[in-house]
Chains A and B, each alone.
Chain A
Amino acid sequence: MPPAGSLPGVSGFQVHFADHDILTAGDRPDVLVAMNPAALKANLRDVPKGGTVIVDTDAFNDRTLQKAGYPASPLDDGSLADYHLHGVALTSMTVGALKGVEGVTPREAERSKNFFALGLMSWLYHRPTEGTVDFIAKKFAKRPEIVEANTRAFRAGWNYGETSEDFAVSYEVAPAPLASGTYRQITGNTAISYGLIAASRLAGLPLFLGAYPITPASAVLEELASRKDFGVITVQAEDEIAAVGAAVGASFGGALGVTVSAGPGIVLKAETIGLAVALELPLVIVDVQRAGPSTGMPTKPEQADLLMVLFGRNGESPVPVLAASSPSQCFDAAIEAARLALKYRTPVYLLSDAYLANGSEPWLVPDVADLPDISTSFAEPNGDPFEPYRRDRATLARPWAIPGTAGLEHRIGGLEKADVTGAISYDPDNHDLMVRLRAQKVAGIAADIPELEVDDPDGDAELLVIGWGSTYGPIMAGVRRARKQGIPVARAHLHHLNPLPRNTGDVLRRYERVLVPEMNLGQLAMLLRAEFLVDAVSYTKVRGRPLSARELEEAITTMVATA
């Protein structure tokens, strides 16, 4: 890491809590606690004017100011006049509070200042303190003296808020109204892992994951590798090609085959995914997108793999594509991906991204009875020669035969196959038919997925904002802000990107204007324009950071103003 106190060395975290359902991590914090001048300089631009800034005055001296590039102390030169500035001697008060704690060095005592600051914040917002005290006791259980130090610092911070006259006001945040039930925190990657396990149970098939380490997808491999208790088989392959090959082999063998990666790994898998299209076998491919091209910014989110997963294979090679919209929704999305893969005997892409993968939110643990039945059946020998490409009339799916079953001997592969028999065929008419059958099979899924829902409370909006994937939260929050200004605006979010919901064209044509915010250069907008001939307008940012509610509010108000 770059040295502490320098601008590149600034680290921190952001917490967002509210009396309503939270949609984003919050783009403009109301309070900034800066532990040194560099932290102030790096983060002040995010705090809206009128926000509260709390600084550790002990950390402001000539040396640290110079390191951060401040010619004069911002605490004295009036440059912070637009903020509610509180100078607090966090370090020395923490060290003072920890005097007499045995076994804690002065340096360790200083480190407890984070808990002093947390105590002050807990007071400022009337947060319950028991949870934090319990957390400290568990987290540092191996070092009782650190438990004592952090607890003391935490309480000292709270007491400082209570007794100091520096803070004239404090705030109370009411509990949010949420459906009752058991909640737990969940990240997108954990939710995908659990969703895949649930899918394997609901399908009555063993789950087989072939994967290769890659940021930000590795946590799915790690989670599933530790789930042998659910009968999960994981193969950490030697590369991406082997990982997807293992998954296809497992599918051929009768398991639910899954592979997980990020963009640079998905491109390597492309040939084998094309094979799965030709084999017409179930396969779930999870792409946890990150900023590209090439290695790009491995830990940062982007939505720029959409056109790749739709079109990034040779030949006419249709693959259904789903996109998760929030960390907890990743659970349902994984089950839906498995459902479509099994029912239609096709590879299915599930798109997530680094924002969903690592973001966490409360998840209402579902009742198993409410989850869909996605069980499937295998071909049975009936005395006649087995026809591996005789399709189900409703779904156009082909039979799935456990290899080695007597009476079901068959040959499949990447070469073009004759309709019904599956024999290798170079016949021109047969190829034309097979290309169209594969396309029809995937297009037909539109009848089996929900219609696109539109959120247009008064039905008087002329502007529709439509998105996909992890922009769900920022778009919803941005739309809410615009509505507060009195602007009627409709909103819709796509979870199925191939095929699109059957009413998508009707929805788009119902509105005068359509705004498509994306973390790419307009990939969904291009699809919608091409497919439905509507004048969809792109709003694009590729900064490796989620879109913010504030910028989307601005985009909406600007668009309405120029109507």
Chain B
Amino acid sequence: MARWVDEIVTEERLLHPGHAACAGCGPAINVRHVLDGLAAARPDSRIVLVIPASCWTIIAGVWPVNAFGVTVHLTPFASAAVEAAAIKSALRLVGRTDTQVVVWGGDGSTCDIGFTGVSAAAERNDDVVYVLNDNEAYMNTGVQKSGGTPEGAWTTTTPAAAPRSGQKKEIARIMAAHGIPYVATLAAGSVPMLKDFRAKVTRAAGIPGFRFLHALGACPPGWKYPTGESAEIVRLAVESHVFPLWECDHGAWRITYRPKRPVPVRDYLGVQGRFSHLSREEIDAIQAHVDERWDALTAVGEPDRELPRASSR
């Protein structure tokens, strides 16, 4: 373990220090491990990063600075997946077959406005790594609800008097239902979780076709907690079964991290201001929904048990 940690601490980074993310930005941790993991898995390859409208159009910096060590293509909200697919096709036509094309798209662009494009790219099995950078609301425009916002959360468009009703879209399972080669969830909440995270990135780098990685990233201003807690809150999301870690590799489902002693969801909700208006009954209801989803997921995710599938590639 120690040597592995040394390696990732000392590796060359493709997100340079001095970027303009908020203090404690969880997605900043995730993007670094996605890019560095993809680069480490295929050292001879180059990476082109495709980013739809999001905080990440700004975080790389305003002239004269640029925090990314890779080429970046910024797209409108809805078209990241198809532009990435076309970039990959064009690179193949000009003989650059070794370039990895990676989308880094938020929950708004992935679950909402860009969903048709993501679904269509998956249906075509376009050769792209699509990473969902999930911070559970439109943070760049000031914390509005998205399809990725969890039940009960405050946002500026779901105020505490009328918080988010309904459930967060189960986007990773929806993507798995497309029969794409690889789907996985990622969380950098602890050293074992990070090891799981990096293993999945490495696996994704080695498979052709549409790969979908769902990374949970905590957002201090949007989730309302002290900036030092980002990793801990993501850890609690996993330990409470709110954000299970799993993968679906060519149709084979597997829970990749089973919390030994799951914590109640109130431990996760209680440390975030966006849930502070919830009553005990509302928290109980959320707990019940989390339990239902975990049961449903583990039923399909039992080791050695594969979902019936028609079109796995």
Contacts and interface: CB of A to CB of B under 8 A. Distances in A.
A302 interface: no
Given A264-B76, A264-B77, 14 more contacts: A2-B20, A8-B65, A213-B144, A213-B157, A215-B141, A218-B142, A221-B144, A222-B144, A222-B157, A225-B156, A236-B145, A238-B113, A239-B112, A268-B78
A215 B74 CA distance: 17
A292 B162 CA distance: 35
Interface in B110-134: 111-113, 115
Interface in A217-232: 218-219, 221-222, 225-226, 228
B256 interface: no
Interface string B56-72: 01000110010000000
Interface residues of A, number: 24
A286 to B, nearest CB: 16
Given A212-B113, A213-B141, A222-B144, A234 B53 contact: no
A215 B57 CA distance: 14
A174 interface: no
Interface string B131-158: 0000000101110110100000000111
Contacts of A295: 53, 57, 74, 76
A154 to B, nearest CB: 28
A240 B156 CA distance: 18
The B interface is mostly helix, strand or loop, or mixed, namely: loop
Given A214-B141, A222-B144, A236-B157, A294 B113 contact: no
Nearest to A216: B141
A405 to B, nearest CB: 31
Contacts of A228: 161-162
B253 to A, nearest CB: 28
B169 to A, nearest CB: 10
Contact of B20 (A1, A218, A236): A1
Contacts of A212: 113
A559 to B, nearest CB: 35
Nearest to A217: B141
A222 B157 CA distance: 5
Contacts of B24: none
A213 B115 contact: no
Interface in B66-97: 74, 76-78
B27 to A, nearest CB: 17
Given A214-B141, A264-B76, A240 B113 contact: yes
A350 to B, nearest CB: 20
A225 B20 contact: no
Contacts of A236: 144-145, 157
B76 A294 contact: yes
Contacts of B53: 295
The CB with the most chain B CB atoms within 10 A, among A8, A213, A294, A295, is that of A213
Contacts of B108: 213
Contact of A218 (B18, B77, B115, B141): B141
Contacts of B77: 239, 264
B159 A213 contact: no
A236 B20 CA distance: 29
A1 B22 CA distance: 7
Nearest to B113: A239
Interface in B176-218: none
Interface magnitude class on chain B: 20 to 34
Contacts of B138: 213
17 contacts: A8-B65, A213-B144, A215-B140, A215-B142, A218-B144, A218-B156, A219-B142, A225-B156, A236-B157, A238-B111, A238-B112, A238-B113, A239-B78, A239-B112, A264-B76, A295-B57, A295-B76
A361 B65 CA distance: 36
A222 B156 contact: yes
When A and B form their complex, which 6 residue pairs have the shortest distance between CB atoms, in order from nearest? A239-B113, A213-B144, A238-B112, A213-B141, A213-B138, A222-B156
Contacts, number: 61
Interface of A: 1-3, 8, 212-215, 218-219, 221-222, 225-226, 228, 234, 236, 238-240, 264, 268, 294-295
Contacts of A294: 76
Contacts of A1: 20
B160 to A, nearest CB: 10
B157 A221 contact: yes
A222 B162 CA distance: 12
Nearest to A8: B62
A488 B65 CA distance: 49
Contacts of B142: 213, 215, 218-219, 222
B203 to A, nearest CB: 31
A66 B162 CA distance: 51
B157 A234 contact: yes
A40 to B, nearest CB: 20
The CB with the most chain B CB atoms within 10 A, among A226, A228, A239, A264, is that of A239
Nearest to B52: A295
A264 B113 CA distance: 13
Nearest to A225: B157
A214 B108 CA distance: 11
Nearest to A221: B157
Given A1-B20, A239-B78, A225 B141 contact: no
B112 A225 contact: no
A238 B115 contact: yes
Nearest to B156: A222
A228 to B, nearest CB: 7
A234 B115 CA distance: 22
Contacts of B140: 215
B141 A226 contact: no
A239 B74 CA distance: 18
A1 B159 CA distance: 27
A457 B65 CA distance: 52
Contacts of B57: 295
A207 to B, nearest CB: 16
Interface string B15-35: 000101000000000000000
Nearest to A218: B141
A234 B156 CA distance: 12
Contacts of B157: 213, 221-222, 225, 234, 236
B21 to A, nearest CB: 9
Contacts of A221: 144, 157
Contacts of B145: 236
A285 B170 CA distance: 33
Interface string B158-176: 1101100000000000000
Contacts of B61: 2
Nearest to B23: A1
A236 B137 CA distance: 12
Given A212-B113, A238-B147, A239-B78, A226 B65 contact: no
Contacts of B141: 213-215, 218
A214 B141 CA distance: 6
Contacts of A239: 77-78, 112-113
The CB with the most chain A CB atoms within 10 A, among B18, B62, B77, B162, is that of B77
